[in-house]
Structure 1
């Protein structure tokens, strides 16, 4: 008999296992140009949703520029790392079914 493997759950489990290594490896990757470009379309202090926030690296970059952030990820391991950065609110949720009212965020 063939065992059914859920690819979504397999992916989440993989990110849970590698969360610390992933955060360390990508922590210093340059992204200032991308953050500044995106921020240029937003009002100062606006609320940003980071879908698939992972380790919270991008949230921290936006928070450092004065934006308020909410991060969403399915991986509890990644959210644990993101929480250590203290850059905003975190929600464990599926990006396909976000638990927010429409037009809550200025940028996604």
Structure 2
């Protein structure tokens, strides 16, 4: 197993185990000032995928702002929290292997 693969496995296990605590620590943080410059050039309703969506903090903001947003995270427990928090769709997956067609999204913010 390559070192990166082990790190990815360890990271996924950590977030799976601590999803609720991670959500509690991050959902109240405002990222609006960081998001606005990225979305300023996109029309409302533009498709956006939030890579590494975590508990859905940015996903909720983007969805509320009127974008067609989908969250993607490696951790299934975090994706479930993100879906409940944002009312936006979420997908469990690895951002290296996106389960979407090429050019399906106009913006791909990544939280790592």
When normalised by structure 1's length, the TM-score is 0.89
**Distance in 2, Cα, partners of 1:10 & 1:41:** 37
**Distance in 2, Cα, partners of 1:70 & 1:88:** 6
Q: How many residues align?
A: 105
Which residue in the other structure is 1:13 paired with?
A: 13
User: How far is the alpha carbon of 1:78 from its aligned partner?
Assistant: 0.7
Which residue in the other structure is 1:85 paired with?
A: 85
Does the CA-based 8 Å contact 1:72-1:93 persist in structure 2?
yes
User: How far is the alpha carbon of 1:89 from its aligned partner?
Assistant: 1.5
**TM-align CA RMSD:** 1.6
**Distance in 1, Cα, partners of 2:44 & 2:88:** 16
Gap regions ≥5 residues in structure 2: none
User: How far is the alpha carbon of 1:85 from its aligned partner?
Assistant: 1.6
User: How far is the alpha carbon of 1:86 from its aligned partner?
Assistant: 3.9
Going from structure 1 to structure 2, the CA distance change for 1:103 and 1:73 (only over 3 Å counts) comes to: same
Which residue in the other structure is 2:62 paired with?
A: 62
Please tell me whether Structure 1 or Structure 2 has the larger radius of gyration of its CA atoms. 1
**Distance in 2, Cα, partners of 1:60 & 1:11:** 23
**Distance in 2, Cα, partners of 1:49 & 1:69:** 6
Does the CA-based 8 Å contact 1:56-1:87 persist in structure 2?
no
Asked if 1:30 is matched to 2:30, the reply is: yes
